[in-house]
Structure 1
C-alpha cells in the first residue's frame, strides 16, 4: 500500500534512499578504484618487461591497457565528485521534475557513465532514479550524447573504446 500511495500522491522521490544509494556507490568506487589501480600497476610493469625483452607489439598492447585503466581511474574521480555534489544539493531537485541547470552536468554525466560501466550496479540504480525523476528523454539525451545533453566532455573522451594513435 505504501508504494501505491506514494505514486498517487506523487511522492516517489525519497531523499534518504537516494543518499544511501549514493553512499553505496561511493563505497563501490573505492573498491573499483583499488582494482583498477592494481591492474594498471601490473600492466605498467608488464610494459617494462616486454620492452626489456624486445617484444614491442606486446608492450604496445599493454600500454593501451594502461591508458584504458588510467582513463577509468580518472572517470571514477569525477564520478565521486559528482556523487558528493548531488548529496550536498539534493534539496535542489527534491521537489522538482526538471533537472536544475547547475546540476545538469553532474546528473547527465552519471547517467552517461552508468550506460557504459556495467560493473557498477549502484550507478545503474542512480541512473534509473534520475530517469524516473527527470524523464526518459532526459536520460536518453545523456546516453546518446545529443546536443545540449550536459555530459562532461572529459568523461566522454576517457570512455572512448578505441585508441587510434596505436593502430
Structure 2
C-alpha cells in the first residue's frame, strides 16, 4: 500500500538519480581529502620545525592543529566508505520506508556528519534525500545522539569540538619527535612546572593557615596579649578589656606614689628607682594622678 501511495503521489525513489549524487559526492570527497591532507602535512611540518628550534612548549600547543586535521581526514575516509556502501545497497531504498539494519550505521553516521561539516554541499543534498526517505525521527535521533542512534562512535569522537587530552597530544608529539630523531624535553619542563606549582600551592595553604590562626574566631590585641593567647569576641570586648587594664595600671601607679611618700630615703624598694631624688623633684601625688588619668583617656 505504501509503495502504491508513493507512486500515486509521485514520491517514488529515483535510484539512478541518487546513485549519480553519490558518485558526484565521491568526486568532491577526493578533493576535500587532498586539501585536508595538505593542511595536515603543513601542521606537522610546523611542529617539526618548532621542535628543531627547541621550542617544545610551542610545539606542544601547535600539535592540536595536527590532531584536528588528522581527525577531519579520518572522518572523510569513513564517509568515503559509507558512500560506497550506499551505492552497493541502493536497491534497499526502493522497497523500505524504514532504514534497514545493514545500512543503519552508514545512514545515521552520514546524517550526523552532515550536521557538523559545512564545506560539503553534496553531503547536505544526500542528507535531505535520507531524511525524505527514512523520516525526520531517524535524523533527529542521529544528530542528537540519542540512545541506539547507530552513529559510529569513532566519528563522534573525531568530530568532537573538545580539545584533545594531554595523553593524545603527548603521543602525537612523541611520534613526530621520534620520526625526526629529536629528544623531547617537554616532560622535564612539565615536571619542573608541576613541582613549582605544588610549592606555590603549599605556600598559599600555609599562609592561609597562619591567617586563620591569627584571626581565629575573635580579635587579638598586640604582642603582649598574643603571647597570652587571649582572644576577644569583638572590638567592643577588646576595648573594654583595654579600659579595665588602664584603670588597674592607674590604681597601681597611685598606690606606688602613696607608698613612696612614706618609704625611708635611700631605701632599696622604691618603685621610682631614684635613690638620691630631692623632695622637690618627686612631685606630689595629685600631679602623678593627673598624668595617669591623661594616659588612660588617651
Q: Structure 1 length normalisation: TM-score?
A: 0.90
1:141, 1:58 → 2: CA distance? 40
Distance (whole Å) between structure 2 residues aligned to residue 49 and residue 21 of structure 1:
42
How much has 1:6 moved relative to structure 2?
A: 6.4
Q: Which residue of 2 aligns with 1:49?
A: 49
Q: Higher RCO, 1 or 2 (CA under 8 Å, sep at least 6)? A: 1
Q: What pairs up with 1:1-167 in 2 under 5 angstroms?
A: 8-11=9-12, 13-166=13-166
Q: Is the 8 A contact 2:115 2:143 kept in 1?
A: yes
Q: Distance in 2 between matches of 1:6 and 1:111?
A: 26
Unpaired runs of 5+ residues, structure 2, are: 1-5, 170-298
Q: Which has the larger radius of gyration?
A: 2
Moved more, 52-61 or 147-156: 52-61
Compared with structure 1, are the counterparts of its residues 124 and 7 closer, same or farther at alpha carbon in structure 2 (3 Å cutoff)?
farther
Q: 1:10 & 1:20 partners in 2: Cα distance?
A: 18
Q: Any stretches of 5+ residues in structure 1 without a counterpart?
A: none
Provide, for residues 16-39 of structure 1, a one-character-per-residue CA deviation record: whole Å limited to 9, x for no partner.
111111111111111010001001
Farther off after superposition, 88-97 or 35-44:
88-97
TM-score by length of 2: 0.52
3-state DSSP class of the match of 2:86? Answer: helix
Q: 1:59 to 1:78 in 2, by over 3 A?
A: same
Identify, as 1 or 2, the structure richer in helix: 1
Count of equivalent residues: 162
Aligned Cα RMSD in Å?
A: 1.8
CA–CA distance in structure 2, aligned partners of residues 125 and 134 of structure 1: 14
Change (3 A) 1:45 1:7: farther
SS at match of 1:102: helix
